[in-house]
Structure 1
């Protein structure tokens, strides 16, 4: 996948009346292009401003680039592909300083990325896919790196390195991409080796000791072999102060690094082999959970008026700093917060063009991902010394595709796909001296003994749970396009997937602590449990039917029905299994039916691309995850949420009104609701005062989904002066409020927020080389904003904060 750019640039500006024409057009709305510009765009020839050649070149200079994608497994103009797709080029990623995957939602419509740490991360499209931290569950949104499916969302949590293009496809994508996905996919393509020098070195400095060095070196190694080597190193101090340890380093720092090597062998024009290997590691204090809410305060029949379980239990444990305001970016914790990630992999993609013109492709890949956390409760007393879930994951995939030669009547792609994944996790909790105070003080019969230090139920004990899930997936797929007329295409595709899954969860008996008269409670909280072997066998089906009609060469109208199914999964935590049985650890497959109508327009002499669509998605047995406190147990929830309906509208517009200025405006309206969810976890405002653990969320909004999203970004390249070419760029991203937790509690609400980024710089030509110096700022207004909320102990809520303002400078050398 690559971008083809028209290089016939001139130095004259477009006439002012054309700017006024664009403003008038954009004000009038979406119906105007079809009505007003139909005659203007009915031919592919470009009208001239005047009869002079220079005037014609002026138009060429401000036309938009032609973006080429291979989403249908052959090279096509993005504007000719009848699907809702948004694309970020390498230049956009670099200009807007998007270096981490979680930042992509600032530039793409209908995209939500939940991130606490690499394990507790998820990607959602159109409100579907918010299921972080479930090791035995596949994602609703597939993430692909160089045509390789990544089995865990955390596998893409590294610096975006040497990317050629990034694409967001919305809606089920099972008929051509490796794994079934019910919501869409994020497709990342790195730059391939070149047979000419394509080198860059870059260094950045910024606030909080921000440092990033990265580079890429590519050239021919022989007449038939080219290589590419890329690397990065990123560090930055944290921004959350631990007031319990005021001299310690601030939390939420960054320390990550990685390398990627590639070899491209192209002995003939009909064959090429691309081998890629990469390795990444991270060791920092990312993912610090900060206090967000204390849960309900009410009149308790035994404990008196204005009782709050979170505050009361903390006081009994000897809290020193309670109820800190998250806006101050502070916590008070007496134990370490840390995480380590090690991951990497290799892939080989071979492409043969046969004598018949057909193209045969083979993609073989192996990846591994290891995650080790160190977490503590956001409290400054010895209750939880360390708890978390360590994960080791490895996967292998093999894909074989055969694509037809170009044909004016019918074109097709077919293939086979195999995927194997082995994941192991280790859940652990190390309790401290005050564990009973934190977790059990609300139980009336234990209250006195806990306060006197005589209970010893959880105090100083350890609990360890081991789980595994093995998956084998086999699929056959195909898709064809019938060019029925010069204007009308019919595309149909299907995939049949068979999967075998096996899992087991085994909690060992607790160790440590001392004998207690409350052994029954110890067994209830931490007792040994073995689920035995759990199995799932699924045959699932995906399908696509699309009709697209070329109103004229620059306007494409399409309508799509797509069906996607995602296989069932397991909760690799004990959860409610001791009470409800091992089968409660299973979830059923997720099934989505997507209906969409869209219009892709190229207008104003290819200076405006306007893509808009309406969608309606019905999901059955929507897989969702969260956490819940039931009685004294704080458990992981993995559930099928009955039915979900997601409907809305999306727009993605790119315009170049004058030479050098490119503006992208995109946004979405998403009305995502549960149409049936009767067994949802109850919020702490209900469960703590009443003991009722469940609620009916039918008709309520799906959590983690802003109803409105709006993004604007621009880049303006000014005229070159004495080999210096200045530029300025900026972006504005606004997100509506949303529920942050599965229980849709008021305390979990994430307020609406906007992020502003800006940069200014200049490029300097040194012969055939180029020097680029820029000054930039991210989160210009230093907005304190919340990205994720988690229901936590005693009705409290913890939050993840977005990055504060960072001012920095970057020096890049292309040679």
Structure 2
């Protein structure tokens, strides 16, 4: 009988978690994980929506009373929905989109705003916070390995309370807090196809006579890989991640507590892999030949055919992703009085063992080799020092929360400081194996080599002009920022509130760059050719000699130009916000037959810092981007707390947009990828979240519409031998931003003699995606990824409070699709896209003790 009661209680908790609303109250350790409101009726009719608490305004508030567009998901709901990584949130949160390149680093977009190039030196457009700590670099956001308690997604600029680099929004991740009262532990195992073997072990230890607790977690993720590489013996899109975390919560006094968090993770994987879709035969890279290699146009078509078999044809040795990440954070909370509290968050993080290398052309031909290791191999072969990248970050935040004017004013004031140092950050791009390619005589004549005279075009299959290329540098960067902020909410009446806020930010950026160049004269002697300086090519050699270099190719001799260029800049920014919100009075709710109703209007601003980017041998600056947001929204609970609808509509003015562009240099092999400012844009949209409870049925859905269009977007275009011009790109769609997306899930839960069962069917749809980078991309159909719908299914069994077993199938219909990528149509002549994961299945077993 007692076991059956526990099962009934467990079912009630499960049902709300399945609905996606199992959210932890964030006030303290004694707040229950899941507080389910039930009435004394049979289980089939007793489940209602719980109260959800969020910290979107840096204080605990009821979700339905918070005038911010925010989605909140707790630990149980994350597990029941099968959300194992931050990218899985895309199928559960409106207006949230993830892009990806070969490096696996998630490019996060909210409401069309983000940063598609997730390098270690570019700032994100959506801030990610772990226990209140800003994660500065997107490739350090391996949040699938942390001990997650809850995730909140704040949509729209968050420049007042969260500061710079939150132009699109913010994602707040909180880990589980230790319990100072009892010992406990848990084990979660996930076994599936494609070599899925995940293990997560956690333990909780009470300390100091119940005044403190420590939580220790080991998380190991393993996946062989989804896609076979026919040009090697390893699979791509694999996972090899290990993490350790420890969190100590200590209530030193009734009014003062300490929270110490330590985290270490290691990643050692291959890239996600790229598929080449041939586009433009006139593109520069497509014109080149490579020693001992087939025509890249044919290799690109072979890569596309491999996609139909869910395979890749890539250079396996060009794929490497690894990093070791360490973090230590200390939070201190002091309840000064009933009306005042002070919080301090100090954090230090360090990353090393960093290796990033991608086969950017997506073919078996080593046409474009980009990343850390392509540079390191070249330096090592030439006897040069091989520096190793390291990153340090320190941040300190103080928050004072208080009440005034008979508790009519609830306010937060504070300050923030951060310092970041990145040393020996490398970048390289090699064209051809070990930087060697060849130019057809006919093409060379057309771009300024007319001095070759009558042989132009007559001997393309007999003679070739060698070309040695490496764009490589390493940089030292310093980023310093401080800010002061304040926000207050004043209750004009019991139902009408006005929130005003402002933040002043000072930003300093410094970057110095060492450039690596080819010793052109020395390399000429190694290949038996004379360097022709006016055209940047070597004198012709026979195709026989050229192809023989494939098996006996000399290494590139490197010239090191220390401190070749540097830049520094400072910016000051003021980001205000204002929100007017109204909660419906009790008599209004009775007339409307609602449990709660709130409407709000918001004005907010956000900005993302500027900086410096390499463009060949020089640094070019880019300006900060700014967003102004106008938003209307409402939130309501109805049908006796069995239906919840939250919606918002917005209009954003977007200026100095930071976009990744591709530009041709003066030589055929020049392909410069760098960050620039696109001018102005307008982003309008609407989003909806809803959940409906009907007995043991739970229906949840979301919808988002994003209308993003450029008002100004000019790009500089250089064509070798023909000059340069300005291209108007304002008609292009926003890259990696779908116009519409929706998610839908339906769950059914039932109780049996052997325990509680829960089934869940979910779907996610997004419309067409544009992947272009250069000015010709929108002219090719393959620069656009087709619309996509995927289905997932889960069946969970809970025989008692401590044990749960879940069988799952992701991508139920085994849809074959591209999920992301980029198109460089004018220069590379192809779109290189990332394949979406095929159907996968497995079993998860969790046990709490």
Q: TM-score normalized by structure 2?
A: 0.81
SS at match of 1:514: helix
Identify the match of residue 600 of structure 1 among 622, 627, 635: 635
CA contact (8 A) 2:113 2:125 kept: yes
Shift of 1:332: 2.7
Match of 1:397 in 2: 395
> Helix, strand or coil: the match of 1:725?
strand
Distance 1:312 1:718, change over 3 A: same
Q: Decide which moves more: 127-136 or 780-789.
A: 127-136
Helix, strand or coil: the match of 2:89?
A: helix
> Is residue 419 of structure 1 aligned with residue 427 of structure 2?
no
Alignment-derived partner of residue 568 in structure 1 = 610
1:663 and 1:681 map into 2 onto residues whose CA distance is 51
State the Cα deviation string for residues 313-364 of structure 1 (Å, max 9, x = none): 4799434744122333333334512211211211111100013530100000
Aligned residues of 1:295 and 1:308 also touching (Cα < 8 A): no
Q: Aligned partners of 2:251 and 2:396: how far apart in 1? A: 21
CA offsets 1:27-65 (integer angstroms, 9 cap, x no match): xxxxxxxxxxxxxxxxxxx999xxxx8459976x31112
Q: How does 1:652-801 map to 2 (within 5 A)?
A: 652-659=689-696, 661-679=697-715, 694-719=726-751, 721-743=752-774, 744-745=777-778, 746=780, 747-765=782-800, 769-792=801-824, 794-801=828-835
Measure the CA separation in 1 of the matches of 2:743 and 2:580: 29
In the alignment, structure 1 residue 114 sits paired with structure 2 residue 99: yes
Choose which of 313, 322, 327 in structure 2 pairs with 1:340.
322
1:228 aligns with 2:205: no
- 1:809 is aligned to 843
Shift of 1:762: 0.5
8 Å CA contact 2:53, 2:63 repeated in 1: yes
5+ residue gaps in structure 1? 1-5, 13-45, 299-306
Evaluate the alpha carbon distance shift between residue 136 and residue 233 of structure 1 in structure 2; reply closer, same or farther with a 3 A threshold: closer
Residue 656 of structure 2 corresponds to residue 642 of structure 1: no
Aligned residue pairs: how many?
743
How far is the alpha carbon of 1:419 from its aligned partner? Answer: 0.8
CA-atom RMSD in angstroms: 3.3
Give the distance between the partners of 1:609 and 1:774, measured in 2 at CA: 27
Query: 1:20-419 maps to which residues of 2 (within 5 A)?
Result: 54-55=40-41, 61-117=46-102, 120-177=105-162, 179-195=164-180, 196-222=182-208, 223-245=210-232, 248-291=233-276, 293-297=277-281, 310=286, 313=289, 317-319=293-295, 321-324=299-302, 325=304, 326-336=307-317, 337-370=319-352, 371-376=354-359, 377-381=361-365, 383=367, 387-388=371-372, 392-405=390-403, 408-419=407-418
| Distance apart, 1:695 and its partner CA | 2.3
Aligned to 2:772, what secondary structure does the other structure show? coil
* Residues 392/785 of structure 1: CA separation in 2 closer, same or farther (3 Å cut): farther
What is the DSSP-based 3-state SS (H/G/I as helix, E as strand, rest coil) of the residue aligned with 1:154?
helix
| SS in structure 2 of the partner of residue 323 of structure 1 | helix
Q: What is the rounded CA distance, in whole Å, between the counterparts of 1:737 and 1:342 in structure 2?
A: 36
Equivalent position of 1:544 in the other structure: 577
Partner of 1:432: 433
Q: Please give the per-residue CA displacement for 1:112-151, whole angstroms capped at 9, x wherever unaligned.
A: 1112355753211110113313444322211111100010
Measured in 1, the distance between the counterparts of 2:154 and 2:793 equals 27
Structure 2: give runs of 5+ residues left out of the alignment.
Answer: 1-5, 13-35, 374-387, 539-555, 587-595
What is the Cα deviation at residue 478 of structure 1? 0.4
Give the secondary structure class of the aligned counterpart of 1:679. Answer: strand
Contact 1:96 1:730 in 2 (8 A): no
Q: CA deviation at 1:454?
A: 6.0
- Asked if the contact 1:283–1:340 (Cα under 8 Å) also holds between the matched residues in 2, the reply is yes
SS at match of 2:659: strand
| Contact 1:136 1:570 (C-alpha < 8 Å) held by counterparts | no
Q: Secondary structure at the match of 2:584?
A: strand
State which drifts further: 478-487 or 419-428: 419-428
CA distance in 1, matches of 2:403, 2:201: 38
Change (3 A) 1:531 1:589: farther
Work out whether 1:517 is the aligned partner of 2:559. no
Once residues 689 and 158 of structure 1 are traced to their aligned partners in structure 2, the CA distance between those partners, rounded to angstroms, is: 49
Contact 1:140–1:182 (8 Å) recurs in 2: yes
Q: How many Å separate the matches in 2 of 1:124 and 1:137? A: 15
Q: CA deviation at 1:536?
A: 0.9
2:381 alignment partner in structure 1: none
